[in-house]
Amino acid sequence: MTEAVPALGVSGVSFGYGRRADGAAFAIRDIDFQVGEGEFTALLGVNGAGKTTLLAVITRLFDAGSGSVKVCGFDMGKQPRDALARMGVVFQQATLDLDLTVRQNLSYAAGLRGLAKADYAPRIDMLLHRFALAERAGDKVRSLNGGHRRRVELARALLHRPRLLVLDEPTVGLDVPSRRALVEHVHALCREEGVAVLWATHLFDEILPEDRVVVLDRGRVVATGSVPEIKARADAPSLDRAFHALVGRNAA
């Protein structure tokens, strides 16, 4: 029996912006972890831990200095187009075209993926319905609130039916109900469609007990495992206490 290929395999990845004044040459160093099909994995770390840098390397915005990133078995360095075709990304910074309508934004993204209108038009309708955006389809993105914009970005990342969804602190700037709704939407995707998710965050309440966690601190992975495993390893009653024990400082 062969072992299943993980949706994301990160192996020995390091990346540096150049030597810093404090002597540290790497923003992230020797990163190893995997995300299996249908798994929700939280990349947990405080601001400055290296989450955004790691996601930029995983999505090929930056070329890895060393190590490899594989998406569904395709190496991002050697087969970037096969790897990127299987990945959807929601960036921390909003990347929607404010002067285009919701549907125009989605059509544009579908076109960039080479999808035919006959394929993407029903897919857009389905996603708009799923994320309760159908009534806003003809509205300019400029008129949408932050929660709705995030949902459009999530719909856009799912247009081409990716096997891996990468989200960089997607709840930044959202109110509590919108945050909760987004977390629920993405967990439902894992359960119902088997999409693998890598969710970068510094907020513990976005992580459910059944999720996996990769703890990042000062550019290094300090722990990986399920929530109970992380708690057991730190001998802590809750995830936030376990996190504080592992990184040895307050995350607030």
- List residues binding other proteins (CB under 8 A): 17-20, 22, 24, 27, 45, 47-53, 56, 59-62, 80-82, 84-85, 87, 89, 91-97, 99-100, 104, 107-116, 168-169, 200, 202
Least Cβ distance, residue 111 to other proteins (angstroms)? 2
Q: Which is nearer to other proteins, 68 or 104 (CB)?
A: 104
User: What one-character-per-residue DSSP string does 145-176 give?
Assistant: -HHHHHHHHHHHHHTT--SEEEEESTTTT--H
Output the smallest distance, CB 191 to other proteins, in A: 25
Burial (CB count within 10 angstroms: exposed 0-12, middle 13-18, buried 19+), residue 220: middle
Q: Distance of CA 57 to CAs 13, 102, 112, Å?
A: 9, 29, 21
Q: How far is CA 76 from CA 59, 62, 220, in A?
A: 8, 11, 21
Nearer to other proteins, 4 or 81 (CB): 81
Phi/psi of residue 23, each to 5°? Answer: 95, -10
Task: Name the residue nearer to other proteins (CB basis): 62 or 204.
Answer: 62
Amino acid at 164: L
* Minimum distance of other proteins from residue 55's CB (angstroms): 8
Nearer to other proteins, 168 or 206 (CB): 168
Burial class (CB in 10 A: 0-12, 13-18, 19+), 134: middle
Using the minimum distance from each CB to other proteins, give the nearer residue, 3 or 22. Answer: 22
CB of 247 to other proteins, least distance (A): 14
* Rounded least distance, CB 123 to other proteins, Å: 14
Degrees, nearest 5: CA angle 236-241-247: 105
